[in-house]
């Protein structure tokens, strides 16, 4: 009889990738995925430490799961609770002390050992322990990727592929160097092999992931290293891969070869997420970003020179300790000059253990709120302008999921915009068999004319089919 695992994923795309790989490590041990925690023999909360109060949300969820675990135990059924990810890494020992219902705490570099941890927890429980104690938050010398089973079942035509982990930048506000460890790049051959498996499984679009993805320098078989630009070119050679994206980048690591890949590789999507965080040199220095606003502008100019239609997105933190009105105005000025297609903006909140958390000169909360409102109003204005420029144009859209309306599928444009496509009248264009429901075309790459542009998404009409993935994901 198979066992069931429920995984709840918080935070970044890398956590989504990690959650999928955790499931893969469990499948050979008889586990299948369930959509509800109540049915699960094992519940995994894959946590993120970036957002404010992230740990408190996890503890709240543990509280709900504790009751489910007790109810199961009363009927003689076992249930295990595992906490994974960056909160686990940062607060593992404290979590074990504070939440007795938790059976396992494992850091991001150790999830390939999950079956061993489960076996240990089960052994302890068999010895009479009501709540076992398995804590593994080490940064092992060997790489977890060497121990993971090969993934071959892909539910979507778009997939994430982790190529790099960790960060050596030590920005003053960030916990990643402490929760994910030093920068590590996977060997080129391993990545290409995984990308080929994805293509064979029907994947059309691959997003290359890393905490600092453009710092990638992976080993080649001849012992030399290659950067992200080289890797993009190699992935683009794989039959079936039509789209390549990468995230998240650091301005210090935009090497010339990577910039030229945007010009030379048609499969490299014309969209780049390049976080700047602030437009003030004073704040950039305080954040330990190790670049200036002018260096950022120079990089943007270079990118747009080789790829004029490149869309940019970014991250911003307002109210970093010591930020003055002048510093904030410098951020608004940078935004006006760059004009982002999308952006993410947040109020600064201290992360325990980071250098910025010890700075005494904190910005008042009401000031942070007012600045965030002004920044987001400007960013939203630019996003609406960018979306409206697509009206009347045709673009390629990869259909990924069902929309709320009958006959509607939602996909992504090359610029990562959400596009709602009405397919109720399109079956004859999609296939000779007009009786096939529109959901059979999930995962197809289609040509769409944009007829409506909202602040957060577009609406389009089908023009034709570029690549049909009949039945993908069903």
* Residue 93's CATH number: 3.40.50.12160
pLDDT bucket at 130, cuts 50 / 70 / 90: very low
Average pLDDT over residues 224-242: 97
277, part of any domain: yes
Percent of the chain with pLDDT over 70: 87
Q: Which residue, 413, 411, 437, 443, is CA-closest to 424?
A: 437
474, part of any domain: no
Average pLDDT over residues 152-167: 82
When the pLDDT of each residue in the chain is averaged and rounded to a whole number, the result is 86
Q: Is the pLDDT of residue 339 over 90?
A: yes
Residue where a domain stops, chosen among 338, 357, 388: 388
346 and 275 within one domain: yes
Percent of the chain with pLDDT over 90: 50
- Residue list, annotated binding site for [4Fe-4S] cluster: 12, 48, 86, 167, 171, 174
268 and 358 within one domain: yes
110 and 214 within one domain: no
Q: Nearest 5°: phi and psi at 457?
A: -160, 170
327 and 219 within one domain: yes
169 and 313 within one domain: yes
296 and 250 within one domain: yes
pLDDT bucket at 149, cuts 50 / 70 / 90: low
Count of domains in the chain? Answer: 3
Cα distances (Å, whole numbers) of residue 313 to 15, 77, 342, 345, 417: 21, 48, 5, 11, 11
Residue where a domain stops, chosen among 333, 359, 388: 388
Residue where a domain stops, chosen among 388, 414, 444: 388
pLDDT tens, residue by residue, 305-323: 999 999 999 999 999 999 9
Q: Is residue 71 within 8 Å of residue 42, measured between CB atoms?
A: no
Structure tokens at 98: 């504070």
408 and 367 within one domain: no
pLDDT of residue 127: 61
18 and 108 within one domain: yes
Range of the domain at 344: 144-388
232 and 88 within one domain: no
**CA-CA-CA-CA dihedral for 413, 416, 422, 428, to nearest 10:** 40
Average pLDDT over residues 381-395: 96
Q: Is the pLDDT of residue 473 over 80?
A: no
Question: For residues 85 and 210, which has the higher predicted lDDT (pLDDT)?
Answer: 210
Structure tokens at 92: 């593992």
Q: Residues near 259 by Cβ (< 8 Å), separated by ≥ 6?
A: 229, 302, 303, 306
pLDDT of residue 131: 46
117 and 24 within one domain: yes
Q: Is the pLDDT of residue 341 over 60?
A: yes
pLDDT of residue 427: 52
Q: Is the pLDDT of residue 147 over 60?
A: no
SS3 324: coil
233 and 380 within one domain: yes
- Residue list, annotated binding site: 12, 48, 86, 167, 171, 174
Q: Which residue, 149, 90, 86, 68, is CA-closest to 115?
A: 149
pLDDT bucket at 141, cuts 50 / 70 / 90: very low
Q: Is the pLDDT of residue 435 over 50?
A: no
Q: Which of 93-102, 138-147, 162-171, 378-387 has the lowest mean pLDDT?
A: 138-147
Task: Give the C-alpha separation, 324 to 257, whole Å.
Answer: 37
Q: Is the pLDDT of residue 245 over 90?
A: yes
322 and 274 within one domain: yes
288, part of any domain: yes
335, part of any domain: yes
Average pLDDT over residues 85-104: 79
pLDDT of residue 150: 60
Question: For residues 266 and 38, which has the higher predicted lDDT (pLDDT)?
Answer: 266
Task: Give the C-alpha separation, 235 to 216, whole Å.
Answer: 14
Q: Is residue 317 within 8 Å of residue 346, measured between CB atoms?
A: yes
Q: Nearest 5°: phi and psi at 50?
A: -75, -45
473, part of any domain: no
């Amino acid at each position: 009889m198979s066992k069931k695992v429920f995984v709840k994923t918080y935070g970044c795309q890398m956590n989504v990738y990690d959650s999928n790989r955790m499931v893969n490590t469990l499948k050979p041990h008889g586990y299948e995925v369930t959509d509800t925690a109540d049915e699960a023999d094992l519940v995994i909360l894959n946590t993120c430490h970036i957002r404010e109060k992230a740990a408190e949300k996890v503890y709240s969820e543990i509280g709900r799961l504790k009751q489910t675990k007790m109810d199961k135990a009363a009927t003689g059924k076992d249930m295990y609770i595992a906490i994974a990810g960056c909160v686990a890494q940062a607060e593992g020992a404290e979590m074990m002390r504070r939440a007795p219902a938790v059976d396992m705490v494992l850091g991001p570099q150790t999830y390939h050992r999950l079956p061993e941890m489960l076996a240990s927890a089960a052994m302890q429980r068999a010895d009479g322990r009501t709540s076992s104690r398995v804590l593994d938050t080490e940064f092992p010398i060997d790489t977890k990727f060497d121990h993971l089973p090969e993934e071959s079942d892909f539910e979507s035509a778009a997939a994430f592929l982790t190529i790099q982990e960790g960060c050596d930048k030590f920005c003053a506000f960030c916990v990643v160097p402490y929760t994910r460890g030093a920068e590590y790049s996977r060997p080129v051959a391993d990545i290409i092999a995984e990308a080929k498996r994805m293509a064979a499984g029907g994947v059309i679009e691959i997003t290359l992931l890393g905490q600092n993805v453009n710092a990638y320098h992976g080993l080649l078989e001849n012992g030399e290293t290659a950067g992200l630009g080289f890797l993009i070119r190699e992935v683009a050679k794989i039959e079936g891969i039509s789209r390549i994206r990468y995230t998240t980048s650091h301005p210090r690591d935009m090497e010339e070869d990577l910039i030229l890949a945007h010009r030379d590789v048609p499969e490299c999507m014309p969209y780049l997420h390049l976080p700047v965080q602030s437009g003030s040199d004073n704040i950039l220095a305080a954040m330990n970003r190790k670049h200036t606003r002018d260096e950022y502008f120079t990089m943007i100019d270079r990118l747009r020179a080789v790829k004029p239609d490149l869309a940019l997105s970014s991250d911003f933190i307002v109210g970093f300790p010591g930020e003055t009105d002048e510093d904030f105005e410098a951020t608004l000025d940078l935004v006006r000059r760059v004009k982002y297609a999308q952006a993410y903006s947040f109020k600064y909140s201290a992360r325990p253990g980071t250098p910025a958390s010890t700075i005494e000169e904190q910005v008042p909360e009401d000031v942070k709120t007012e600045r965030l409102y002004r920044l987001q109003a400007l960013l939203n204005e630019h996003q609406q302008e960018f979306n409206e420029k697509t009206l009347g144009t045709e673009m390629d859209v990869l259909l990924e999921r069902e929309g709320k309306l009958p006959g509607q599928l939602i996909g992504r444009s090359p610029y990562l915009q959400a596009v709602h496509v009405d397919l109720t009248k399109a079956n004859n264009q999609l296939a000779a068999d007009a009786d096939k429901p529109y959901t059979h075309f999930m995962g197809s790459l289609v040509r769409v004319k944009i007829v409506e542009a909202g602040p957060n998404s577009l609406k389009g009409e089908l023009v034709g089919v570029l690549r049909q993935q009949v039945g993908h994901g069903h």
